[in-house]
Structure 1
Amino acid sequence: MGKNMGKGFAVGKLSTRQIETSKGKRVLIDGDGLRLVFGAKGKASWVLRTVKDGREYNIGLGSYPIVTLSDARALVIQKKKEILNGLDPILEKRKKHQMLTFEEAAYKTFEQLSPTFKNDKHKNQWINDLKRYIFPKIGNTKIDQLKHEYVVDALASLWVEKHVTAKRIKQRIKAIVDWAVGRGYREHALPMGAIDKALPKVSHKPKHHAALQYSEISKCLKVVKSKRGVAALAIQALILTAARSGEIRGARWSEFDFENDVWTIPAERMKAKTEHKVPLSKQAKAAFEEAKKMQIHKDCDLVFHGNSANLELSDNILTDSIQEWGFDVTIHGFRSTFRDWIANETQFDGDLAEMALAHTIKNHAERAYRRGNMLEKRREMMNAWASYCEGKGANVVKLVRKKANGK
């Protein structure tokens, strides 16, 4: 039993009648640290005074008579058990008064993740999708009060209409809540399995990037080469190297060894975060050298810069340009064109093509076996591809498939 503090009634003897007739009292003590404190205009609040590790805590338990005497006694037992199990009442009080909304937690998570984004496009998309689709629905919900059913309601319609976007947003919501758990704003993460099961079933086929038939590539390259400007040269280089848009748009002169005709893309600019060497055909090298001649800002390390130094071209500029020139394709689709040509028209090994595309090898044993970059074999393949793109054919043996009966 606790010790009486100040004037009050006997320990554990406080009754509702005594409370109701306690005119002029400042404090009524029930015992075991529980006291009823009277404030201005006769308003009263329950307070638990307790000590842990030599530190005194005063914990508010609510206003009387909303919280009754029996309620307050039950809360005393609950709070003392929580403190015994490691609860810090001061931290809990601070969090209660400073609890973040989901939107505020999202911005704090975004701030922490910002250095990990590959480019400004991904960075802006991460927060802008939340602004557009999620904040209007659950942005003002306190992060500790966010329930999985709220998330289901917020995602349900988007899950059907924009499934890919909704899946990405769901992962961002998980990251935000996980951050809140790690920072002590929540006790538990969201049950993602339950959210998945509660969302509508979506039946869809994967949407592939619109790609050019490889039989049309020489016509396309001829049109691109007839155009002037940095975008045209960037598209030339992209087609001839089978590189990704971001790898081309972010290319730096310091990455090139024109003496040995090799372009070395550093790990931090690669999707798989692994350094990638690209053997340059004479046609690809010519596109880069032409870009050097057109360079306005001579001290700029960026190969295909935009309107000002150190400003990359946007992916939209490349896509808009190729479509304006009469080809209804995406820039990324040229990689598929290259891969289809390898598979259908040559005997170059499929794994060699995957290395040229800088695709990650999922099989760990195979990845260990193929540590070498097979640069010279890939050089032969890229030279053949460049010749084919120029309409000159390629000195490769066409793949002949055997019939089922072996003939």
Structure 2
Amino acid sequence: MKLTVPFVGKAPAGRHGDGGGLYLLVKPDGRKTWVFRYRDRTTGKSRDKGLGPYPDVKLAEARELAGACRSQLRSNIDPIASRRAALQRARAEQSRMLTFGECANRFIAANEHSWRNPKHVDQWRSTIDTYCGSLLRLPVSDIDTNLVYSALSAIWHDKTETATRLRGRIERVLDWANVSGFRSGDNPARWKGNLQHLLAPPEKLKKVEHRPALPYAEMPEFMKKLRQRKELSALALQFQVLTATRPGEATGAKWEEIDWKQKLWTVPPSRTKTNRAHEVPLSEQTIALLKGIPNTGKSHVFPGKANRPIVTAAPLKVLRTIPGAEGTTCHGFRSSFRDWAADKTNHGRDIIEMSLAHKVVGKVEAAYLRSKMLEKRAALMADWGTYCLGNVGHSKSAKPDQ
């Protein structure tokens, strides 16, 4: 112990030894720090471990810290490696304290760009914030089956569809936390072999509620009324009805998707529910409708604001104002088409289902039958156009009562 308190207080620049590996380092600008110098047992090289700055660490405390380092060396413990390991353990422990809510936010941020529909982000945040209040502030490592069960059981019977989606979302967040090292063990939100023993099977609780649809017998009169409306949203509704597509597929139609020569409209995968391109044969009635829509030079057939198509709510608003169609939905016209095709035509079931973009065959068979299916589907859509509007520009379609 060569150093004294008065000397340390006014020591000049340089390295000043106290003995036992303890040194006071004084930089040219006057800053002082304590280090413990020792020889690495593996490499034989000298290493310096910082013990803290002066005057935060006084001489007496520095000697105690140096003594602890010598004690570690006698036990064949490297002081620097030991400190790094302690820091890593502390960081790991801190990361394990990440809350379920924080993990959910990180999971959404990591995946939102891969979700096709921007609404998915809002739906994820909404369901988790609304129904996972009891989990949000808890460390994700503490989430167990009982906690997940408590969150789900509150809505399992009354809001079964929402609850099943919520369970899947909780499971994915916890899987992400597990892979990221924030928790370990089995996923407490897993259904098979876990929650299935605590919650009733959702398929036995769900009440199937079909979207209200206009009876197909009323379609000709409805279309007669709809054709009297000339606003863009009414034209979009006509287009959706005649093509038997989903509302978002119809309102998002682009001119470049229309093949006038082949009389074919191809809905890209980005706008279909199945994430596969859907080819729609266009009837003469649909072609006449499209030719009557002003092409303003914009990409969308039904342009809205900011280079976007009109929203699906616009045709729905028109629908609700047409006498006799109150309470129905735009999506319900697909059911009207399906019922009409089954009851009033001899078209095959597979043709009808493919016209609705439902998967009915394997990839190999679908590729083999593509041209034949398109020809038969074109005949079906021609009959549907004639049933809805009568003969418009041609005379080959089936009559409305067929």
Structures share a fold, TM > 0.5? Answer: yes
> Residue by residue, what CA displacement relative to the aligned partner does 1:179-233 show, whole Å, maximum 9, x if unpaired?
1112111213424132233235663431211111110111221122111312111
* In 2: Cα distance, 1:171 partner to 1:197 partner: 16
Q: Show the counterpart of 2:307.
A: 310
* 2:327 matches 1:324: no
User: What aligned pairs does 1:34-45 form with structure 2 within 5 A after superposition?
Assistant: none
Q: Structure 1: where are the runs of 5+ without partners?
A: 7-23, 36-47, 60-87, 400-407
Deviation at 1:245, TM superposition (A): 1.2
1:396 CA drift (Å): 7.5
* Secondary structure of 2:91's aligned partner: helix
Aligned to 2:398: 395
Could you tell me which amino acid in structure 1 is paired with residue 213 of structure 2?
A: A
The aligned amino acid for 2:336 is T
- The residue type paired with residue 137 of structure 1 is S
Matched, 1:157 2:154: yes
Aligned to 1:94: 91
Alignment of 1:6-25 (within 5 A): none
| Counterpart contact for 1:300–1:309, Cα < 8 Å | no
Residue of structure 1 equivalent to 2:17: none
Q: Which residue number in structure 1 is paired with residue 374 of structure 2?
A: 375
2: CA distance, partners of 1:249 / 1:220: 20
Q: Which residue of 2 aligns with 1:197?
A: 197
Q: Paired residue for 2:334?
A: 335
Superposition TM-score, scaled by structure 2 size: 0.72
How much has 1:365 moved relative to structure 2? 7.1
Q: How does 1:7-406 map to 2 (within 5 A)?
A: 26=64, 56-58=81-83, 91-98=88-95, 99-134=97-132, 136-191=133-188, 192-193=190-191, 194-200=194-200, 203-291=205-293, 293=294, 298-306=296-304, 308-326=305-323, 327=325, 328-361=327-360, 367=366, 370-372=369-371, 374-390=373-389, 395=398
Paired AA for residue 121 in structure 2: K
Compute the displacement of 1:363 (Å): 5.5
CA distance in 1 between counterparts of 2:390 and 2:93 reads 70
| Counterpart in the other structure of 1:62 | none
- Cα distance 1:362–1:208, how it changes in 2: closer, same or farther (>3 A)? farther
Larger displacement relative to structure 2 (213-222 or 355-364): 355-364
**Which residue is equivalent to 2:49?**
none
Distance 1:187 1:260, change over 3 A: same
Structure 1 residue 369 displacement after superposition: 5.5
What is the TM-score with the length of structure 1 in the denominator?
0.71
Aligned length: 332
Shift of residue 391, structure 1, vs aligned partner:
5.1
Q: Distance between the aligned counterparts of 2:365 and 2:87, measured in 1?
A: 55
Q: Which amino acid aligns with 1:322?
A: L
Return closer, same or farther for 1:89/1:353 CA change in 2, 3 Å cut-off: farther
Query: 1:299, 1:398 → 2: CA distance?
Result: 39
Inter-CA distance 369–93: structure 2 relative to 1 (3 Å threshold): farther
User: Is the Cα–Cα contact under 8 Å of residues 157 and 205 in structure 2 kept in the other structure?
Assistant: no
Assess if the C-alpha contact under 8 Å between 2:253 and 2:300 holds in 1. Answer: yes
Larger Rg: 2
Q: Note if contact 2:216-2:336 (Cα within 8 Å) is conserved in structure 1.
A: yes
Identical aligned pairs, as a percentage? 31
CA deviation digits over 1:361-401, x for unaligned, max 9? 365675566455621211111010000012569528999xx
> Relative to 1, partners in 2 of residues 1:258 and 1:364: Cα closer, same or farther, differing over 3 Å?
closer
Cα RMSD (Å): 3.5
CA deviation after TM superposition for structure 1 residue 176, in Å: 0.9
Per the alignment, do residues 397 and 329 of structure 1 end up closer, same or farther by CA in structure 2, a change over 3 Å counting? Answer: closer
For residues 117 and 285 of structure 2, what CA distance do their matches in structure 1 show? Answer: 29
Q: Partner of 1:130: helix, strand, or coil?
A: helix
For 1:244, give the aligned amino acid.
R
1:270 shift after superposition: 2.0
Task: Give the distance between the partners of 1:264 and 1:377, measured in 2 at CA.
Answer: 17
**Preserved contact between residue 346 and residue 397 of structure 1 (Cα < 8 Å):** no
Q: 3-state SS of the aligned residue for 1:324?
A: coil
Note the C-alpha offset of 1:339: 0.9
Unpaired runs of at least 5, structure 2 = 1-20, 23-60
In 1, distance between residues paired with 2:289 and 2:401?
A: 28
Q: Distance in 1 between matches of 2:372 and 2:111?
A: 32
